[in-house]
Structure 1
Amino acid sequence: MSLPVDAVTGPVPWVAMYHSVGDCSDDPYRITVTPERLDRQLAWLTGQGLRGVSLAELLAARARGEGRDLAGLTFDDGYADFLTAALPVLRRHGCTATLFVLPGRLGGDNAWDPLGPRRPLLPADGIREAAAEGIEIGSHGLTHLDLTKADDATLKAETAGSRAALADLLGTEVAGFCYPYGTVDRRAVDAVRDAGYAYACAIDPGPLTGPHALPRIHIGQNDTAARLYLKHRLHRLRRRPVAGLR
């Protein structure tokens, strides 16, 4: 997958950021939505004339000058509940998504979160199953480290190393990266680009915004139709067009 990186300038796409789908009764980081809430959120998206797709599909459409009726759906960390709780809802609404996983923590849990319950992560077979269902697999680094604090060797392992590990696991190249914690600086962006990724997702990268630092909108359990409307509207008003995207 390649993206235009010439002088073409266009609006930044609307990309939703999810994590876990399941029980959100103990959720100090607000990373979980219930399947019922996800179902209503995707129904709202469809009602706006939008279809949720993977970042690969969205950016490929944008590169052709199309895709204004598409919205990106991303799920961070690779939780095991993606297969059991999120995927059935995505299927019901005709959506795909990008799942950002941690090849250095296959079958582990969210040990990087000091608070809240331990949530199991997908093993290798689960990641391959998601890919077989049409879900794009991207890297979230090897182990969920803040790349802005990593030394040179660790930064290379978390970017290039994780891409190589996923290529071995999936038998195909990996196009996308997602910065753990959403933290990003020029050094991290350069490392991700040098590792061969076609695009990368952050949260609010400010002046670094571009194909290797795409902003996303956090979506949580409290995001009703009214809140989603505002998040969609404000994104269009706040995000300036950037070079490298049509």
Structure 2
Amino acid sequence: MRTRAPARVLMYHGVDHVGRERDPHGMFVTPANFRAQMELLLESGFVPVTEDAYLAALGGDRLPRRAVLITFDDGYQGVGEHAAPILESLGIPSVLYVPVGLLGGRADWLGDRLRYPLLSAGEVQGLRTQGMAIGAHGLDHADLTRLGDAELLRQTQETRDTLAELLGTEVPTFAFPYGAHDARVRDAVAAAGYRAAFSVHEAAGRFGIQRVDVNATDTLRTLRVKLHGLYPAARRTSRHVPRARRLVHDLLGSAHDDSGALAVARP
């Protein structure tokens, strides 16, 4: 049975100055762009909500009409250095999903050109103390759909236990690395005791909640399109997410400057 998401959920990855040649997939939004996007949310009447409020809404509680949940995947250091202060200054809550077995290391999945540093365990604890919710993203950013049952158990249950011990609090939500999930993976996440899990493009109830990805080429115009209530349905209908994304940017423009870093592009 499908569970209708009670609010829009935005998915970010990194927030930092990373040139296009090192970030071909557009994973890193500049701090200036990120601030402008968060200000746009508030100016447009969106109401950022906490993880707790979102989970309560899954259980039937009501949220504001334009509620939005801000999430980050992977635990890049720039989220702590750049995004967290911006969010704190604007009073915006968020959820950060970290691969707990890699804290303090580097993101090898980004390729040799980048290998961006990840937050340390102490930095994650500090962000939690500052009010950012912390969620699970597996042990080592593995594609869970490719794992055997024993390893899948480690990536879900052991991840939850390790992260809960680090934070001294419950870890209620999970985000699938690469957005990859199937019925077996969703069942494992549910059995591990999580209350909800987030995917990217493929929706499958409360253990496969769809999110809207915000990437390095998004301008305020393209973000407005992505915030439209019909955007997720249109994206699902197209069945060609990268093609749909390119079409939006072809029509409305992409954020970049001549240096190869990304810049704020106003409407």
What is the TM-score with the length of structure 1 in the denominator? Answer: 0.88
1:17 maps to a residue whose letter is: M
Secondary structure at the aligned position of 1:165 is classed as: helix
What corresponds to 1:70 in structure 2?
Answer: 67
Distance of aligned partners of 1:96 and 1:189 in 2 relative to their CA distance in 1, 3 Å threshold: same
* Structure 1 position 143, deviation (Å): 0.4
- Which segment is superposed worse, 21-30 or 185-194? 21-30
Structure 2 spans left out of the alignment, 5+ residues? 237-267
Deviations 1:38-65 (A, max 9, x none): 0111111112211323433323245312
Map 1:14-163 → 2, pairs under 5 A? 14-25=8-19, 26-61=22-57, 63-163=60-160
Contact map agreement 1:54 1:74 (CA 8 A) in 2: no
Going from structure 1 to structure 2, the CA distance change for 1:141 and 1:10 (only over 3 Å counts) comes to: closer
Whichever residue aligns with residue 212 of structure 2, its letter is I
| Displacement of 1:137 | 0.4
Secondary structure in 2 matching 1:75: strand
Give the Å deviation of 1:68.
Answer: 2.6
Output the CA distance in 2 between the equivalents of 1:235 and 1:14.
Answer: 10
1:9 to partner: Cα distance: 6.0
| Superposed displacement of residue 101, structure 1 | 0.6
CA distance in 2, matches of 1:177, 1:120: 21
Deviates more, 1:56-65 or 1:12-21: 56-65
Using the TM superposition, give the Cα deviation of residue 237 of structure 1 relative to its aligned residue in structure 2, in angstroms: 4.5
Structure-to-structure mapping, 1:226-245, within 5 angstroms? 226-233=221-228, 234-235=230-231, 237-238=233-234
Letter matched to residue 164 of structure 1: D
Aligned with residue 214 of structure 2, among 210, 219, 223: 219
The answer (yes or no) to whether the contact 1:54–1:72 under 8 Å persists in 2 is yes
Structure 1 residue 167 and structure 2 residue 164: aligned? yes
Report SS of the residue matched to 1:108.
coil
Higher RCO (C-alpha 8 Å, min separation 6) = 1
Among the aligned pairs, what percent are the same residue?
Answer: 37
1:120-164 superposed Cα distances (whole Å, 9 cap, x missing partner): 111111111010011110000000000110011110000011000
- In the TM superposition, residue 115 of structure 1 has moved relative to its aligned partner by 4.6
Q: Distance in 2 between matches of 1:221 and 1:66?
A: 29
Q: Which residue of 1 aligns with 2:255?
A: none
Structure 1 unaligned residues grouped into runs of 5+: 1-6, 241-246
Letter in 1 for 2:118: L
**Once the two structures are superposed, what CA deviation does each residue of 1:184-218 show, in whole Å capped at 9, x if it has no partner?**
10000000000000010001224xx2111100111
Assess if the C-alpha contact under 8 Å between 2:6 and 2:57 holds in 1. no
What letter matches 1:98 in structure 2?
V
Given the superposition, is the C-alpha separation of residues 88 and 163 from structure 1 closer, same or farther in structure 2, using an over 3 Å criterion? same
Q: Give, in whole Å, the separation in 1 of the partners of 2:17 and 2:132.
A: 23
For the 8 Å contact 2:136–2:163, the answer to whether it is kept is yes
